[in-house]
Amino acid sequence: MNVIDVLNRDQLKSNVPEFRSGDTVKVYSKVIEGGKERTQMFEGVVTVRKGGGTAESLTVRRVAHGVGVEKTFLVHSPRVEKIEVSKRGIVRRSRLYYLSEKIGKAARIKEKKPAK
């Protein structure tokens, strides 16, 4: 076993939920402002999930005050406190780059209804 593989395995988080592109998630991240640390929530649609191991990242997109905002988070970073899945989306692609050109209702994603 390689030493780097062992170190990377120790860095992985165990509480990462199952999610994929098209899902609406809430990402709680730690932000440092003026020496104080607080938790900030960013909610949006997962457009990209890429990488593997400790380098795994996700890009979340939301529209705030009419402006599209995309933020990339490292899934296993100590700055990311937790990830919650709000809605499951029905999409056929793993990369949803086409959402950046869509505006308003055209940018919606169908929601997967929970099985009863």
Strands 24-33 and 36-50: antiparallel
Contact 39, 81 (CB under 8 A): yes
Contact 89, 107 (CB under 8 A): no
Take residue 81 and report the two structure tokens written for it. Answer: 């406190």
d(CA 83, CA 80): 8
Per-residue pLDDT of the chain (116 residues; tens, 9 = 90+): 789 888 888 888 888 999 999 999 999 999 999 999 999 999 999 999 999 888 999 999 999 888 889 999 999 999 999 999 999 999 999 999 999 888 888 888 999 887 77
Domains (range + CATH), the chain: 22-101 (2.30.30.790)
Take residue 94 and report the two structure tokens written for it. Answer: 């793993």
Q: What is the pTM of this model?
A: 0.86
